[in-house]
């Protein structure tokens, strides 16, 4: 099963059509998009349907009004997950605190169950994090909500992918998280970020395959600083065949993010292949 995750950055017009052509040219089994908007959704939905995909999205959540603030905040983007296999929408994020729920961005998350022939259904969690510098603690709460959600059904094969706007940096030893801008919440912020990016069960498939001592991939360059914000994590039931970044889409300016693509197989299949 090939999964491609990409933040398309709300692109419209000719660039948006180039994005669609590029994605369909790779024909992933599962496609997780972030940065979908009401403006580019019609082209994506029509093209995906025409190519044989079924999909779920958080389109309806982007219509929800945001509390009045100065300057005002608008819900602009949402997530979409498509598959060449049967797909079923699953519950999204939840926030027990009403104040947190009112200021959250549930449209930046969509979960779906994808049924692949001959294999157990896989839960695909497609996430984007809100901007921390603009929205402060909301990003931390979003990380916490993602962790709660992906742990709800721990007996299922799971994939978590998307644009996490984190970590600040990484090397062979581990991750450096975003805490400098939040000195009063340093411990809580670090715990929330690491709880997702260093999940005790879900593994970062790129780090699993990364050769020690070599540079890490770059998926975006905000304010001229290279980062690997875009990631795919998988549970032990799924074994990694390969993981690559489609960085030419970044250099070609199809988006301000590279896509990440992974090929996974059930661990039982991988084990049988090794035994032969």
| pLDDT at site 275 | 46
Residues 220-229: contacts with CB under 8 Å, at least 24 apart: 220/7, 220/163, 220/250, 220/256, 220/257, 220/258, 221/250, 221/256, 222/256, 227/167, 227/168, 227/169, 228/170, 229/163, 229/164, 229/165, 229/166, 229/257
Q: What is the pLDDT of residues 40-94, one digit of tens each?
A: 999 999 999 999 999 999 999 998 888 887 777 889 999 999 999 999 999 999 9
Report, as ranges of residue numbers, the positions in the chain whose pLDDT lies below 50: 275-276
Q: Report whether CATH 3.40.50.2300 matches the domain 2-275.
A: no
Residues 217-224: contacts with CB under 8 Å, at least 24 apart: 217/245, 217/247, 217/258, 218/245, 218/247, 218/250, 218/258, 219/245, 219/247, 219/250, 219/257, 219/258, 219/260, 220/7, 220/163, 220/250, 220/256, 220/257, 220/258, 221/250, 221/256, 222/256
pTM above 0.85, yes or no: yes
| pLDDT at site 134 | 57
On average, the pLDDT of the chain sits at 93
Greatest Cα pair distance in the chain: 64
80 Cβ partners below 8 Å, 6+ apart? 31, 32, 33, 36, 41, 44, 55, 56, 57, 58, 59, 110, 126
């Amino acid at each position: 099963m090939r999964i491609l995750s990409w933040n398309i950055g709300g692109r419209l017009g000719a660039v948006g059509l180039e994005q669609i052509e590029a994605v369909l040219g790779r024909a992933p089994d599962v496609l997780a998009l972030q940065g979908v908007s009401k403006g580019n959704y019609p082209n994506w939905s029509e093209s995906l349907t025409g190519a044989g995909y079924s999909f779920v999205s958080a389109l309806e959540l982007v219509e929800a009004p945001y509390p009045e603030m100065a300057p005002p905040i608008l819900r602009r983007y949402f997530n979409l997950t498509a598959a060449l296999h049967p797909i079923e929408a699953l519950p999204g994020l939840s926030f027990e605190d009403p104040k947190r729920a009112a200021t959250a961005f549930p449209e930046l998350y969509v979960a779906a169950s994808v049924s692949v022939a001959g294999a157990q259904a896989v839960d695909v969690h497609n996430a984007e994090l809100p901007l921390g510098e603009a929205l402060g603690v909301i990003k931390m709460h979003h990380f916490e909500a993602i962790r709660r959600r992906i742990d709800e059904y721990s007996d299922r094969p799971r994939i978590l992918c998307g644009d996490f706007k984190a970590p600040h940096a990484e090397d062979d030893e581990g991750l450096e998280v975003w805490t400098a801008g939040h000195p009063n919440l340093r411990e809580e912020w670090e715990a929330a970020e690491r709880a997702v990016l260093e999940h005790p069960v879900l593994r970062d498939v790129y780090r699993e395959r990364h050769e020690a001592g070599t540079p890490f991939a770059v998926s975006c360059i905000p304010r001229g600083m290279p980062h690997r914000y875009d990631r795919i994590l998988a549970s032990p039931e799924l074994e990694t065949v390969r993981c690559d970044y489609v960085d030419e889409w970044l250099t070609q300016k199809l988006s301000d993010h590279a896509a990440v693509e992974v090929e996974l197989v059930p661990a039982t299949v991988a084990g049988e292949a090794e035994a032969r």
